[in-house]
Structure 1
Amino acid sequence: MFKHGAGRGTKATQPEEGINDAMAPPGRTGFIIAAAALLSLPAVGLIVDWGGLAWADERALLLLRAQDGNGGFVPGPRWLTQFLTDLTALGGISLLAPITLVISAYLWATGRPHTGLFLTLTVATGWLLSRALKSLYDRARPEAVPHLVEVSSASFPSGHAMNSAIVYLTLAAILAEGREQPTKRQFLYLTAVALVFLIGLSRLYLGVHYPTDVLAGWSFGAGWAILCWIAASRFREGSPPHLLRN
C-alpha cells in the first residue's frame, strides 16, 4: 500500500522503478497460475490411476533407447549416459539440501535473514509434500526399460523434477529481485527453467520415471514455488520485492 500526502504540494510516494515485475506474477494472476499448476498433479494422478496414458508413457521411454537388434533396448552413447547421470544429481535432495542450507546461511550472514528463512521453508515444505505424494500414489517404477541408476522410492510424482523446480525457480526469483533490466531477469528465469527441464528429461532417459511422473513433478514444483512467493509477498504490506529485504 502506498501512502499519499494530505497536504498541498505533497507528492504521492511512488514505488521504486522496476520492482513490481521482478518476481513471480503478483496478485490474482499469480494465484491462478499457482492453483492451476498445483491442481494438475491430482488431475494427472487420476488419469494414471485409471490406466490412461499407460501406453504413451511406456512408448515415450522406449523412444529414448536404441534397439540392440535382439528386441531389447539399450542406452545411447556412453558420453550421453554419463552426462545425464551426472546431470540428474542436480535434482537430488542430497545435493539440493546442502545448496539450500549454504545459500540460506549466506543470506542470513549478509543481512537478509527473512529471505534465508523463506528459502529454507519453501524447499523443506516442498520436499515433505513430495514424500507425502509419493506415499499417497505409490506408483511402481517403469519396467519397460532397465534402470540406469539406483532408485528406491515410488515413481509418482518425480521428486527430482518437483524439488529441482522448487529450488531453482525460487533461487532465480531471489536473484532477480531488484534487477531493473528485463533481460537480466529473463536470463535468470530461463536458465532455471532450462536446468529443471534437463533434469526431468534425464529421469526419463535413465528409465526411472514415466513422462507423467515428470510432468506432474514440474507442474507441482513450479506451482508450489509461485504460491510460496505470493504468500511471502503478502506477509507484509508493500511491493513484493521489498518484502523479503531486511
Structure 2
Amino acid sequence: MTAKFIRFSAIAAALIAAVVLLGLAVGAGWTQAADWQVSHSLAIRVDASDPAFIAFMQGISWIGSGTPRWIIVILLCGLVWHWCGPRCAVALGGASLLSNLASSLLKLGFARARPDLIDHLDHQTSYSYPSGHATSAATVYLLLAWLAPPRWRPYAWTLAATMIILNGFSRIMLGVHWASDIAGGTMLGTAFALLGAWWVARQRADA
C-alpha cells in the first residue's frame, strides 16, 4: 500500500465521516440558525429580482440536474479518455455514479425537509441533505481537474471552482437547499473525486 493511497484514502474517509457528522448536527438542529441566516440573505425574492438573473440561476441549476448532468459526464468521459485512456473515463463515470448513489442514500437516511423560506424556483421531490447537485459538481469537475494534462490543468481548476461555487449559490438562491446541504454535498463529492484520482494514479504507478 503506497503512501499516496494512504493519504488519499484517509482524506476521503475523513470527508465522508465529516458528511455524516454534519448530517447528525443538522438533524439535531445545531445548524439551523446559521442555515436560516444564509438562506434569508441569499434566497431570491421574485418580486424584487431581475428575471434575467433568476433565469441565469435556474440555468446553472438545470445544468447540474438529471439528463443535462449525465450528458456532460458522458462528454467529459470522452474527453478524459482522449487525455489519458479508458481508465480515466471509467474513473470519472464510476465516481459520478457512485457519488450520486451515496448522495441519494444519505438523503433517505437523514430525510431533511427542503427550505420553505420562499416558493421554490426549481421543482424538487427528494430530501435536502446532502445536495446532489453539489455532490455531482465536486465529483465531476474536481476529478476532471486532477485528470487534465498539465497545460490544461489551470483552466480545469478554474472551471471546477466556478461550477462548484455557482452551483452551490444557485441552489440556495432558488430556495431548494440550505447552506449545510451544499457543504455536505461538496465534501461528499470531493471524497469521491479523490478516490477516482487515486484509482487512476495507482495504474500509472504500476505501469
1:131 CA displacement: 1.1
Of 26, 31, 34, 1:53 maps to: 31
Q: Which runs of 5+ in 2 are unaligned?
A: none
Of 195, 211, 229, 2:179 maps to: 211
> After the TM superposition, which residues 190-209 of structure 1 pair with which residues of structure 2 at under 5 Å, given as runs?
190-209=158-177
> After the TM superposition, which residues 68-83 of structure 1 pair with which residues of structure 2 at under 5 Å, given as runs?
76-83=49-56
Give the 3 Å change call, closer, same or farther, for CA 110–187 of structure 1 in structure 2: closer
Q: Which runs of 5+ in 1 are unaligned?
A: 1-24, 68-72
Q: Is the 8 A contact 1:166 1:222 kept in 2?
A: yes
Structure 2 residue 144 is the aligned partner of structure 1 residue 144: no
Two-structure CA RMSD over aligned residues (Å): 2.5
1:105 CA displacement: 4.4
Q: Quick one: distance in 2 between partners of 1:217 and 1:56?
A: 17
Match of 1:220 in 2: 188
Matched to 1:36, the amino acid is: A
Q: Is the 8 A contact 2:124 2:176 kept in 1?
A: yes
Could you tell which deviates more after superposition, 32-41 or 53-62? 32-41
1:196 CA displacement: 1.0
Match of 1:64 in 2: 42
Q: Secondary structure at the match of 1:120?
A: helix
Deviations 1:34-67 (CA, angstroms, capped at 9, x unpaired): 2332221111111111111212212211112477
Higher percent of residues as helix: 2
Q: Is the 8 A contact 1:75 1:81 kept in 2?
A: no
Structure 2 residue 12 is the aligned partner of structure 1 residue 34: yes
Q: Is the 8 A contact 2:107 2:127 kept in 1?
A: yes
Deviations 1:98-150 (CA, angstroms, capped at 9, x unpaired): 22223334665888222222222111111111111111111111112221111
Match of 1:8 in 2: none
Match of 2:94 in 1: 121
Q: Secondary structure at the match of 1:31?
A: helix
Q: Quick one: distance in 2 between partners of 1:173 and 1:136?
A: 31
Deviations 1:44-93 (CA, angstroms, capped at 9, x unpaired): 111111111212212211112477xxxxx855222211111111122113
* TM-score (normalizing by structure 2): 0.87
What's the % identity of the aligned pairs? 28
Number of residue pairs matched by the alignment: 205
Give the 3 Å change call, closer, same or farther, for CA 35–155 of structure 1 in structure 2: same
Matched to 2:72, the amino acid is: I
Q: Secondary structure at the match of 2:118?
A: coil
Matched to 1:165, the amino acid is: A
Q: Quick one: distance in 2 between partners of 1:152 and 1:141?
A: 9
Q: Quick one: distance in 1 between partners of 2:146 and 2:154?
A: 10
Of 86, 97, 104, 2:59 maps to: 86
